[in-house]
Structure 1
């Protein structure tokens, strides 16, 4: 069974995915001024293709909504999912306005 947890220290940390008590993936994140920035998503090669990146994304989104944060998707995977399905993420997607 998969377990997900958010681990933060001084507003930097990870969303971690565990399978059978071993870390199988993570998202590197930071929080500052109401913005949750996601830098990188990683799933161990032995667990690729099992939908674990999507589980991490779902936990990221859930955490942002629960804590009233906007997500700045610097991670290519998260950014591509936001662009592919903007209707799912519009409420939490931080998009810097061009001025």
Structure 2
């Protein structure tokens, strides 16, 4: 059973951690400031790749952003690709940069 846990430090930097049977199998590194949530990197451990686990981190991050009324800056290649692939799904939270 997977569980996503968010841990932020005093500066609102941290990550969503994907736990499976008490073991960390993935993480999405983020930072929160003002009204933005910046996603820097998403990684699934090699032994857990190919099982659709990254989407669980994406879903948790999106839910958090919506709940806290944050706009997402997807610097992470995975998140940016998902936002571009499904723009209608993320239009309400996607803080597009000028070159997108």
Question: Under a length normalisation based on structure 1, what TM-score does the superposition of the two structures give?
Answer: 0.96
Partner of 1:57: 58
Tell me how far apart the structure 1 counterparts of residues 29 and 97 of structure 2 sit (CA, whole Å).
Answer: 21
Listed as ranges, the matches of 1:43-82 within 5 Å are 43-82=44-83
TM superposition outliers: structure 1 runs of 4+ over 3 Å: none
5+ unaligned residues in a row in structure 2: which ranges? none
5+ unaligned residues in a row in structure 1: which ranges? none
Partner of 1:2: 2
Partner of 2:43: 42
Question: Under a length normalisation based on structure 2, what TM-score does the superposition of the two structures give?
Answer: 0.95
Number of residue pairs the alignment of both structures matches = 98
Tell me how far apart the structure 1 counterparts of residues 40 and 97 of structure 2 sit (CA, whole Å).
Answer: 16
